[in-house]
């Protein structure tokens, strides 16, 4: 594990404008820099970098953070990988915290496997490009497939000589341990004999999302019917085929930029698309699609387009992967190529423009695709048609979002010419049964005895029905969360002005000798953060937004420890949600620079000029809304047996009127 001191040195040394400047063309804009978003196509700059605050914000996507978060978003590094990238850039030696002997051994084992895999990738690539046999067999195969030199280089394709141990001998001669050659599966060791796993095969290196070599896929070039056409590296500590997508390293930036990922089956499908100019494509490499693979894509986009070969034979099995994608809350579209075509052949026989147009025109929503596919199999048989409907409703039940489910039910009802009521009823039964099975499995796992025939509770069914819109009035629209908006304003003031001292005015009520209440104004100076803390403490206010509550708690901790708000500590917080929220709020203040208000002679009043009013408005408004909700709760509590607590409501209403007066509002 990287030591805290190393991370601190990285943050101290890294300059956000220098780091981002390597990936985005930045232009000076006042005290900040601006540029075009690296995440979407745009003509007007919406990307801003603040050297003073050492943060960035992309207003077109809402993304933002520090140097670490930029590398994680743009390059899709893990946190340690981003720290190491910055350490290398700024020549900072990485210190590791003390680990147990077992942890060190495991880390060394994995690192050795990565080193061996990297050597193998370079060796196979060099053999193919520079040896006579490599050029005559391996390179000529890829050239026949239509792959250009640049494409071969991008995907680091290679060839293993058709000799028993040519690679193994070369690796041992370079000092690599046979133990790691065996554990990565590059070398097969049997009774004091060793030979190359991929002998005589062209090789497709399989990269991690950050570009490390995890394993290989090898294709045989002979007509040997006893040998598998494709052979992958065996499962190991670094290679898990169900957690890997081929081409993701090369595709990740374009997937995020296009906000869509094309999913194909084979290595050459990916490479041909990439060469044609469509780079947001990955392959499951012949394995059944897994939840882990889908989650990899989910880090980059919510949209997946599944591409099927024209041959319908394998579609029925492959279509099961769609349900897995839906379960992850992602949007699925489907494209089927004409008979006899696959993504590889279609890409080679069409121009980039023609391919893009076909993908756009042939793209179908998953429900339309599934209906058309399954209805062909039903042959107008009513029983089979009913089975098709259940199959489709089963897919819809996988969607976590209730509103999306309702929309798909309506679409299914329209296409299948069946009432929505029947489909909603079927959907409710499927979901309820599924949740009951999960609950049952959970009870069995926790060794809690329960009647296996116990029906699901009516309450649970009602909950599901309400969630799916099976209640009177359908799905209700969520009201704007006023409290969250007001809480954000308080956090914004704390972050931007928490350390500022300003003059506040307090209304003090006293009684004269005749018992008459006299209100006088008292002026006093206080820090903004201390002023807000006193108000919220008096009200015993807890933030309803969990992230805002965590930020507020961090701020209060800083005030208690250091008597000031440390913005850098929040921007570089280990909790990425806190860091992102803080960055977003801070950079919203810079947004007006993108519009060049000054150049348009529009005066923007500074917040410091009205700071006391900002603080009071934020606190009083939050208090006003909370009191309003309290009054609503008191009214709702009233029943036929319990009278309305008029006295309490009167008291709260009086407070609310007082707050309106302080806010200079009309009740």
Residues 224 and 285 in one domain: no
Per the structure, the complete domain to which residue 316 belongs is given by 248-362
d(CA 70, CA 54): 11
Q: Is residue 388 part of a domain?
A: no
- The predicted model scores a pTM of 0.63
Residues 267 and 219 in one domain: no
Q: Is residue 151 part of a domain?
A: yes
Evaluate if residue 477 carries a pLDDT over 80. Answer: no
Tens digits of residue pLDDT in 620-662: 888 777 777 766 766 676 655 556 666 666 655 655 566 555 5
Q: Is residue 468 part of a domain?
A: no
CATH code, 302:
3.40.1360.10
When pLDDT is cut at 50, 70 and 90, the band that residue 125 belongs to is very high
pLDDT at 163: 95
Reference 32, options 20, 44, 41; nearest CA is: 20
CATH code, 563:
1.10.860
Residues 47 and 150 in one domain: no
How many structural domains is the chain composed of? 4
Residues 39, 41, 47, CA angle at the centre, nearest 5°?
A: 55
Q: Is the C-alpha dihedral spanning 610, 613, 617, 623 positive or negative?
A: positive
Residues 58 and 207 in one domain: no
Looking at the chain, the number of H-run helices and the number of E-run strands are 30, 18
Residues 216 and 120 in one domain: yes
Stronger pLDDT, 13 or 470, i.e. the higher one: 13
Residues 507 and 579 in one domain: yes
Stronger pLDDT, 399 or 434, i.e. the higher one: 399
Average pLDDT over residues 12-38: 88
Pair 128, 159: CB distance under 8 Å: yes
Stronger pLDDT, 73 or 179, i.e. the higher one: 179
Stronger pLDDT, 370 or 461, i.e. the higher one: 370
CA 58 to chain CA centroid, Å, is 16
Half-sphere exposure of residue 502: CA atoms within 13 angstroms, side-chain side: 21
CATH code, 176:
3.90.980.10
pLDDT at 261: 96
Residues 113 and 21 in one domain: no
Place of tokens 């404008």: 17
d(CA 284, CA 288): 7
CATH code, 22:
3.90.580.10
Q: Where are the alpha helices (DSSP H) in 184-338?
A: 248-258, 267-276, 291-298, 315-318, 320-327
Q: Is residue 391 part of a domain?
A: no
Percentages of the chain per state (helix, strand, coil), in multiples of 5: 55, 15, 30
d(CA 477, CA 460): 22
Reference 403, options 332, 464, 475, 466; nearest CA is: 475
Domain boundary among 65, 89, 113: 89
Average pLDDT over residues 545-555: 88
Query: Residue 2 pairs with which residues in a beta bridge?
Result: 96
Residues 105 and 209 in one domain: yes
Tens digits of residue pLDDT in 132-188: 999 999 999 999 999 999 999 999 999 999 999 999 999 999 999 999 999 999 999
d(CA 208, CA 212): 5
Pair 43, 64: CB distance under 8 Å: no
Residue 405, CA distances (Å) to 34, 423, 431, 477, 657 in order: 41, 11, 11, 15, 44
Q: Is residue 370 part of a domain?
A: no
> Regarding beta strands 193-196 and 201-207, do their DSSP bridges make them parallel or antiparallel, or are they unpaired?
unpaired
Residues 45 and 147 in one domain: no
pLDDT at 94: 87
């Amino acid at each position: 594990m990287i030591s805290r001191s190393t991370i601190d040195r990285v943050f101290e040394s890294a300059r956000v404008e220098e780091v981002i400047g390597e990936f985005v063309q930045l232009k000076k804009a006042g005290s900040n820099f601006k540029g075009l978003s690296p995440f979407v196509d745009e003509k007007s700059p919406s990307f801003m970098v603040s050297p003073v605050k050492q943060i960035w914000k992309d207003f077109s996507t809402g993304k933002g953070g520090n140097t670490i978060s930029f590398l994680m978003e743009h390059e899709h590094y893990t946190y340690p990988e981003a720290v190491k990238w910055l350490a290398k850039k700024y020549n900072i030696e990485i210190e590791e915290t003390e680990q147990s002997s077992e942890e060190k051994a495991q880390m060394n084992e994995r690192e050795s496997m990565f080193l061996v895999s990297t050597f193998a990738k370079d060796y196979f690539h060099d053999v193919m490009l520079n040896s006579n046999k490599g050029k005559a067999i391996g390179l000529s195969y890829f050239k026949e497939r239509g792959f250009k030199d640049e494409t071969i280089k991008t995907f680091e394709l290679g060839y293993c000589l058709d000799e028993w141990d040519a690679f193994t001998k070369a690796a041992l001669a370079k000092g690599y341990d046979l133990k790691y050659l065996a554990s990565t599966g590059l070398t097969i060791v049997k009774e004091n004999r060793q030979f190359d796993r991929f002998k005589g095969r062209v090789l497709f290196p399989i990269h991690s999302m950050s570009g490390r070599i995890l394993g290989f896929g090898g294709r045989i070039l002979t007509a040997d019917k006893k040998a598998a056409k494709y052979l992958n590296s065996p499962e190991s500590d670094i290679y898990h085929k169900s957690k890997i997508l081929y081409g993701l390293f090369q595709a990740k930036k374009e997937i995020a930029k296009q906000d869509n990922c094309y999913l194909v089956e084979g290595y050459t499908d990916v490479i041909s698309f990439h060469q044609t100019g469509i780079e947001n494509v990955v392959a499951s490499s012949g394995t059944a699609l897994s939840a882990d693979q889908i989650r990899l894509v989910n880090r980059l986009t919510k949209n997946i387009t599944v591409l099927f070969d024209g041959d319908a034979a394998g579609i029925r099995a492959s279509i099961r992967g769609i349900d897995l994608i839906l379960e992850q809350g992602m949007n699925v579209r489907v494209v089927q190529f004409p008979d006899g075509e696959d993504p590889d052949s279609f890409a080679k026989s069409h121009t980039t423009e023609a391919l893009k147009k076909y993908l756009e025109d042939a793209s179908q929503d998953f429900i339309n695709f599934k209906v058309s596919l399954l209805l062909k199999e039903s042959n107008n048989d009513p029983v089979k048609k009913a089975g098709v409907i259940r199959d489709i409703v089963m897919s819809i039940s996988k969607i976590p979002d209730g509103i999306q489910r309702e929309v798909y039910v309506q679409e299914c009802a329209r296409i299948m010419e069946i009432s929505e009521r029947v489909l909603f009823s079927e959907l409710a039964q499927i979901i309820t049964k599924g949740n009951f099975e999960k609950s049952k499995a959970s009870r069995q796992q926790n060794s809690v005895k329960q009647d296996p025939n116990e029906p699901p509770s009516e309450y649970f069914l009602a909950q599901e029905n309400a969630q799916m819109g099976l209640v009177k009035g359908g799905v209700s629209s969520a009201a704007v969360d006023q409290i969250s908006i007001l809480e954000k304003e308080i956090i914004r003031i704390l972050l931007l002005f928490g350390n500022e001292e300003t003059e506040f005015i307090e209304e003090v009520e006293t009684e004269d000798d005749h018992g008459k209440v006299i209100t006088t104004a008292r002026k006093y100076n206080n820090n903004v953060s201390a002023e807000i803390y006193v108000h919220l403490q008096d009200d015993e206010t807890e933030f309803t937004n969990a992230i805002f509550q965590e930020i507020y708690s961090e701020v209060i901790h800083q005030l208690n420890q250091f008597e000031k708000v440390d913005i850098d500590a929040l921007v570089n917080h280990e909790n990425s949600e806190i860091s992102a929220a803080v960055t977003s709020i801070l950079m919203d203040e810079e947004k007006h620079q993108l519009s060049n208000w000054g150049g348009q002679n529009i005066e923007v009043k500074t917040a410091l000029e009205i700071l006391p009013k900002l603080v009071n408005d934020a606190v009083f408004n939050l208090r006003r809304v909370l009191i309003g909700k309290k009054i609503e709760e008191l009214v709702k509590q009233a029943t036929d047996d319990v009278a309305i607590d008029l006295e309490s409501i009167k008291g709260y209403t009086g407070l609310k009127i007082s707050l309106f007066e302080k806010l200079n509002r009309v009740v």
